[in-house]
Amino acid sequence: MFESLDALAADAILKLIAEHQQDTRAHKVDLGVGVYRDQHGRTPVLSSVKKAERYLVEHQDTKAYLGSGGDPVFNDQMQRITFGDASSGNDRITTLQTPGGSGSLRIAAGLLLRARPDCRVWISDPSWNNHVPLLGGAGLRLEKYPYYDAATRGLRFDDMMAKLATVPAGDVVLMHACCHNPTGLDPSPEQWRQVADLVVERNLVPFVDIAYQGFATGLDEDALPVRLLEDRVPEMLVSSSCSKNFGLYRDRVGVLSLLSADAKTNTAVRSQAYQIVRTMYSVPPDHGCAVVSHILRDKALRAEWIGELAEMRGRLKAMRRLLVDALGQHAPGHDFSHVIGANGMFSFLGVSPEQVQRLKSDYAVYMVDSGRINVAGITPGNVEYLAKSIAAVL
Ligand SMILES: Cc1ncc(COP(=O)(O)O)c(C=O)c1O
């Protein structure tokens, strides 16, 4: 049977990770993989997470199955983070624990297909490179709306609005709440208000992917699109991930929140979502969710986590500034100011695939072919070398 299967090319990002690992040049720089790094190039376990794990080792008294929706206490905490405290107990919202943001997106896809099999989902051009295989692979019909202008290295806001104004009522629009992947460019608060007005006016179904909450401005600020829409639309889907803001990448922690027109519909939506989970992985993984739940409920740990999140956010901003300053010295004729205006870990540097290849082969500087960089790979120790290398291939 298996002989009928063709071998697939290695995933581009996994291939890049392997190439970087095998590279023996001491000065190599990794701007590829999408994880946070500290100034020593490490992806640390947060101190708040370590403390919560110690607490769980001592106090967790069962690992019996959870239900398909996961732990209601964790779900409530997560819902409050994204929708605000007032959303707790709202009988129009169901939040269920999922294996990371990816698991959340996949359950959302299953639900959309059950609710409306021919539904179309509009995604930004470009978008996270797993949105298409993940959502399209699940069977959804995907369409694109303009987002990034390679010529100006800015947001195509007017084009995006013009396109969304033509999207038929009832279609789903996927939006990155903050720290857009791969561009790092987010609409301003005023632009988000305009997007929200258009979504309401045209009766579109918002689907918000919030994988970097707290990495742009702050927890509440980064949830702006959700907060602007929750009271104004009958239906909304929100996929949240704790991979980045809690550094729990491999523990698979996330939620899917589903807003329905009324409590009765919400009961039906919840039962359908639970059944999709039951037939896919039965119950969600718990350890990382239990860690997050404990941190969010413990006043001191929560404050510590918020401090650690602010530190990560601050470092990312500082590294953007450092790179642009260094490029100003080594590549004075070129404008990289768009890197400072972006949020979170990613930006398009604005280099060609050939320049990406030369950076890799001649300078041991690794980034994905599109020229997307993860600014978390920059440190005060490598920024000079990095800027000189980029200048050399321009
Ligand atoms: C935009 C976006 N959404 C969702 C995810 C999923 O994250 P995870 O499944 O690791 O929680 C990512 C991860 O990189 C992302 O960039």
31 lies in the same domain as 161: no
Give pLDDT tens digits for 307-346: 999 999 999 999 999 999 999 999 999 999 999 999 999 9
pLDDT band at 212 (very low <50, low <70, confident <90, very high): very high
pLDDT band at 12 (very low <50, low <70, confident <90, very high): confident
Largest alpha-carbon pair distance within the chain?
62
150 lies in the same domain as 82: yes
From the list 30, 71, 122, 128, the catalytic residue is 128
263 lies in the same domain as 314: no
pLDDT at 9: 85
Q: Is residue 387 part of a domain?
A: yes
Checking if the pLDDT of 378 tops 90, the result is: yes
Q: How many domains does the chain have?
A: 2
Give pLDDT tens digits for 237-272: 999 999 999 999 999 999 999 999 999 999 999 999
Of 231, 261, 285, the last residue of a domain is 285
Q: How far apart are CA 282 and CA 287, in angstroms?
A: 16
The binding-site residues of ligand 1, defined as CB within 6 angstroms of any ligand atom, are 34, 100-102, 128, 176, 181, 209, 211, 241, 243, 249, 254
Alpha helices in the chain (DSSP H): 12-22, 47-59, 72-83, 100-115, 131, 137, 157-164, 189-201, 219-222, 224-229, 263-280, 287-297, 299-330, 338-341, 353-363, 383-393
Of 252, 285, 318, the last residue of a domain is 285
74 CA distance to ligand 1 middle (Å)? 19
The single residue listed with the structure tokens 């490490």 is: 42
pLDDT band at 210 (very low <50, low <70, confident <90, very high): very high
The single residue listed with the structure tokens 């907060």 is: 227
136 CA distance to ligand 1 middle (Å)? 16
The domain that contains 386 carries what CATH number?
3.90.1150.10
Is 244 known to be catalytic?
A: yes
Full residue range of the structural domain in which residue 114 is found? 64-285
Q: Is residue 248 part of a domain?
A: yes
The domain that contains 254 carries what CATH number?
3.40.640.10
| Minimum-distance ligand 1 atom for the alpha carbon of 252 | 11
The single residue listed with the structure tokens 């989902």 is: 121
| Minimum-distance ligand 1 atom for the alpha carbon of 128 | 1
Checking if the pLDDT of 81 tops 90, the result is: yes
380 lies in the same domain as 328: yes
Is 122 known to be catalytic?
A: no
Q: How far apart are CA 249 and CA 226, in angstroms?
A: 23
Q: Is residue 296 part of a domain?
A: no
Of 128, 174, 374, best ligand 1 pocket probe by most atoms within 8 Å of the beta carbon: 128
